[in-house]
Structure 1
Amino acid sequence: MIHQYKLNGYNIVLDVYSGSVHLVDEVAYDIIALYETTPQEEIVAQMLAKYGHRDDVDEGEILDCLADIQALKQAGKLFSQDLWKDVEQEAFQHTKPVLKAMCLHVAHTCNLNCDYCFASQGNYHGDRGLMPFAVGKQALDFLIASSGSRVNLEVDFFGGEPLMNWQVVKDLVAYARTQEPIHHKKFRFTLTTNGMLLDDEVTAFCNREMHNVVLSLDGRKEVHDRLRKNLAGVGSYDIIVPKFQRFVQQRGDQSYYMRGTFTHDNVDFTNDIFHMADLGFTELSMEPVVSPPGEPWALTQEDLPKLFQQYELLAQEMLKREREGRPITFYHYMLDLEGGPCLHKRMSGCGSGTEYLAVTPWGELFPCHQFVNDPAYSMGDVWKGITNPQLGEKFHRCNVVANPDCRDCWARLYCAGGCAANAYHASGDINGTYTYGCELFKKRIECAIMMKAAQGNGQ
């Protein structure tokens, strides 16, 4: 399978199963499109009819191009075969995943009242509450006991707003550190915060203990304040931006991300990304809103072409800024064409419900944070463990191999079948398809590949 597209002046040919990326001229681009379905004599005739007026195109050049394509095919770099199609599902069936990551909901409450919050302003459509230390400790013990031979374990402190339960966060990190030498484990912690309670003490602790910190900012003041307000209905931009700037300055070269959300109201989201970059933030992510159709901020089908243009504009501007010596990183354009994830990871995705679980303040287990408090997706608790193994098995089988909509998709080895929660909310089935998200993802991958091609060309 191949995927061809034109972007930013490049003619790009992706050989899906080998991962090879080819930058070609217009003649080669057109020949490749015909190569598998059209006799050679007809290809030559069509190319002469289209390009014969050019001094650099004659029958000999076309035949040379055909020979080059044949050589690439024989080398497995063009029109390569899907060698895994007969063994992929069998491999999944015989793989027994073990737990390696947890999302600890230390606070089902929040000091903001964001209109678009999928977590219903932090309480996940349920009771408000803070996770006691005893529950968090049991969750960490459960993670250690369920992790098998895995050494590296990951824990995300999440909410609501986790800084509203800050002492428990610190105590859980301290407890985990005591368990590392006992069980031969290494913990990597992440904190996701809206920044309202960020101060120097939190910053110093995060710089010492947190592998990554995710900071929520939607971009321009008018965009951010439209939906991200405090309980009194006042926008939070002026409070958090100075805190975030100070945090990032003190963070140094350690990992962080500014994580924004774009909605129907700011489909020109690149202006928000560039605004954040101009504030001094270089590690950036901007996600499409997760929202039921009909909400005023929900993305529409009419927004899609505008969003495609925005992703292209972002890629072009990032290349420009890189040439100027002021690069920025965009999470969805981070792509390793030489190595990248192993095949199993490319097929299975984030591991929700199998390798990754979310834990409520009361210790109940769910496949991920987007399923929390949905009774149909309760998997057990941190004391009894997994009491609904059938649900875990369902998530284990939820992968790019099992979804027939993915079989002929050129991006299948990059998306791992997409987000199970988004598929569920869009189609009612975790094995369904969130088509809107697929379209956005494919455009992002096209842009990311184009950027790699441009960087490889020294541009």
Structure 2
Amino acid sequence: MYTITLEVNQICNLRCDYCYLGEKTNQKMTEDIAHKSLQIAFLNVEKHKDKRLWVDFVGGEALISFVFLQKLVEYIEKEAEKRTITVFYSITTNGTIMNNNILEWLINKKVHLKLSIDGTIETHDRNRKTKFGIGSYRNIIKNINYFREYEERTKQYIQVAHVVTQNNYWEAFNSVKHLVEDLHFSVVDSSIDVTHRWTVEQLDKLGQEWENILCYYIKKKENGRAFLWAPVLDLKKYGEESEKFGFCGVGVIQIYVKTDGGIYGCAANLESSGCLGDVERGFSVRKIKEYRELAPQSPVCLKCSIHSKCQSCKCIMNNLSYSNQINVCNPDMCYFEKKKLSLWNKYDEIIK
């Protein structure tokens, strides 16, 4: 499977405090840039045995560019048919823009839906506000029937993206419980905002929240009311053979294309250090070769007792974002990696 993420716009009706795009340019991706991006993806997919392509649409708020998305999917389907490529789609949305036309399109095109919502109204509205400074939770709830209909008709679950930040980390368990118990979502992906430095005390507390969520996940599963908490998939990787840990595949199996045509490894680093090239000139083969050769070779990491199992040290884009070097890791993530591994060692027999 080859994955391309297309940043179709840098326009949004929200002003979230932790947005990875920072100050948006209000720029829209042109058809020319989109088509050139996809041609790169098609060429790479044709080298893969399974000939499967995953196209992920993001913004800004991607659904602001709904007409553009419709045209783009028509183009993708025509090109994919010529090449006998199987295409899957996903889109990330803040959940505030929805109507019957959008719903029907999402269902007909079998677009996997990722919804950004951080928990209870108090937690969510703390960071995810409109441009007028008003929380956006109620805007999402107004559209909840659309999301229910989407799941009922597609028979696929919406993936909820829940971001843990320095002003809500002590509420992580309550946030996940709210999303599952009160809003009835079945897939929750909790991620940590790594753009700011964390203290040991904060990470210790977050580690306890992670354990509380894990115990809740286990209890729900044992009671026959299972949901998927995405970090469990990361924990399960600790049970895999260490040889499987290495180069993350940026540029080889996945790329992120910004509105201006810049090609990046992934959304973890959209600064110049994460740039692999652009749609006009293509990739920097030298950079990708360097990533592949140096990713597992951090001098500090090699001395670490959990190096063979560590997932954080292999995240090249996070390393570059933090230190501007491939093999110098964010120490906050190193610390939390040990917290996660301790959870695996404690609960591995239950969650395997």
Q: 1:396 to 1:194 in 2, by over 3 A?
A: same
User: In 2, Cα distance between the equivalents of 1:370 and 1:181?
Assistant: 32
User: In 2, Cα distance between the equivalents of 1:301 and 1:338?
Assistant: 24
Instruction: Map 1:39-438; keep pairs closer than 5 Å.
Output: 100-121=2-23, 123=24, 127-150=25-48, 151-210=51-110, 212-244=112-144, 246-252=146-152, 253-268=155-170, 269-278=172-181, 279-293=183-197, 299-334=198-233, 346-349=245-248, 351-372=249-270, 374-386=271-283, 388-399=284-295, 401-407=296-302, 408-410=304-306, 412-413=308-309, 415=311, 417-438=313-334
Which structure 1 residue ranges, 5 or more long, are not aligned? 1-98, 294-298
Tell me how far 1:222 sits from its aligned partner: 0.8
RMSD: 2.7
User: In 1, Cα distance between the equivalents of 2:81 and 2:223?
Assistant: 46
Tell me how far 1:403 sits from its aligned partner: 2.0
TM-score norm. by structure 2 comes to 0.88
Higher RCO, 1 vs 2 (CA within 8 Å, ≥6 residues apart): 2
Secondary structure at 1:177 match in 2: helix
Q: 1:309 to 1:191 in 2, by over 3 A?
A: same
Secondary structure at 2:246 match in 1: helix
- Tell me if the contact between 1:333 and 1:444 (Cα under 8 Å) persists in the aligned partners: no
**Corresponding letter in the other structure for 1:272:** S
User: In 2, Cα distance between the equivalents of 1:167 and 1:375?
Assistant: 30
User: In 2, Cα distance between the equivalents of 1:104 and 1:344?
Assistant: 31
Q: 1:411 to 1:280 in 2, by over 3 A?
A: farther
TM-score norm. by structure 1 comes to 0.69
- Tell me if the contact between 1:214 and 1:258 (Cα under 8 Å) persists in the aligned partners: yes
Task: Spell out, residue by residue over 1:357-415, the C-alpha distance to the aligned partner (whole angstroms, 9 max, x if none).
Answer: 2112222222223433x3444333223322x332222322342x222333344363462
**Corresponding letter in the other structure for 2:315:** C
**Corresponding letter in the other structure for 1:362:** D
Which structure 2 residue ranges, 5 or more long, are not aligned? none
User: In 2, Cα distance between the equivalents of 1:338 and 1:233?
Assistant: 40
User: In 2, Cα distance between the equivalents of 1:211 and 1:398?
Assistant: 36
User: In 1, Cα distance between the equivalents of 2:223 and 2:159?
Assistant: 22
- Tell me if the contact between 1:365 and 1:382 (Cα under 8 Å) persists in the aligned partners: yes
Q: 1:183 to 1:240 in 2, by over 3 A?
A: same
Q: 1:168 to 1:449 in 2, by over 3 A?
A: farther
Secondary structure at 1:171 match in 2: helix
User: In 2, Cα distance between the equivalents of 1:285 and 1:301?
Assistant: 23
- Tell me if the contact between 1:229 and 1:236 (Cα under 8 Å) persists in the aligned partners: yes
Larger radius of gyration: 1
Percent of matched pairs sharing the same residue:
23
**Corresponding letter in the other structure for 2:287:** L
- Tell me if the contact between 1:104 and 1:358 (Cα under 8 Å) persists in the aligned partners: yes
Tell me how far 1:108 sits from its aligned partner: 1.2
**Corresponding letter in the other structure for 1:104:** L
Q: 1:255 to 1:281 in 2, by over 3 A?
A: closer
Task: Spell out, residue by residue over 1:199-251, the C-alpha distance to the aligned partner (whole angstroms, 9 max, x if none).
Answer: 33223322332453211001011111111101111100000134245314422
Tell me how far 1:341 sits from its aligned partner: 7.4
